Amino acid sequence: MTTTDTAPSRAAGRRTAAGPSAHRGRFTGRSVVVTGAAQGIGRAVAERIAAEGGGVVLVDRAELVHEVAAGVREAAAAYPDPAPVHSVTADLETFDGAQAATEAAIAAAGRIDVVVNNVGGTIWAKPYEHYTPEEIEKEVRRSLFPTLWMCRAVLPHLIAQRTGTIVNVGSVATRGVNRVPYAASKGGVRAITTALALEAAPHGVRVVATAPGGTEAPARAVQRGPLPQTEQEKAWYQQIVDQTVDSSLMKRYGTLDEQAAAICFLASDEASYITGTILPVAGGDLG
Residues 170-202 have pLDDT tens digits of: 999 999 999 999 999 999 999 999 999 999 999
* pLDDT value at residue 23: 85
Residues 25-35 have pLDDT tens digits of: 999 999 999 99
The structural domains of the chain, ordered by start, are 21-281 (3.40.50.720)
Q: Which residues are catalytic?
A: 182
The answer to whether 33 and 88 have CB atoms below 8 angstroms apart is: no
What does the alpha-carbon distance between residue 153 and residue 98 come to, in Å, rounded to a whole number? 6
* pLDDT value at residue 22: 61
User: Which runs of consecutive H residues, i.e. helices, occur in the chain?
Assistant: 40-51, 64-76, 95-109, 133-143, 145-161, 180-200, 231-247, 256-267
Q: Is the per-residue pLDDT at 284 higher than 80?
A: yes
Describe the chain by its helix, strand, coil percentages, rounded to 5: 45, 15, 40
Phi, psi of 78 (to 5 degrees): -75, -15
Q: Is the per-residue pLDDT at 245 higher than 70?
A: yes
Residue 19's pLDDT band (boundaries 50, 70, 90)?
A: low
What does the alpha-carbon distance between residue 64 and residue 80 come to, in Å, rounded to a whole number? 27
Instruction: For residue 209, give the DSSP letter.
Output: E
Q: Is the per-residue pLDDT at 141 higher than 70?
A: yes
Residues 66-80 have pLDDT tens digits of: 999 999 999 999 988
* pLDDT value at residue 287: 84
The answer to whether 47 and 75 have CB atoms below 8 angstroms apart is: yes
What does the alpha-carbon distance between residue 162 and residue 202 come to, in Å, rounded to a whole number? 9
Among 92, 65, 12, smallest CA distance to 221 is for 65
- Produce one character per residue of 5-41: b if its CB has 16 or more CB atoms within 10 Å, e if not: eebbeebeeeeebeebeebeebbeebbbbbbbbbbbb
Residue 8's pLDDT band (boundaries 50, 70, 90)?
A: very low
Strand-pair partners of 169 = 210
Q: Is the per-residue pLDDT at 142 higher than 60?
A: yes
**How high is the mean pLDDT of the chain?**
92
Q: Is the per-residue pLDDT at 128 higher than 70?
A: yes
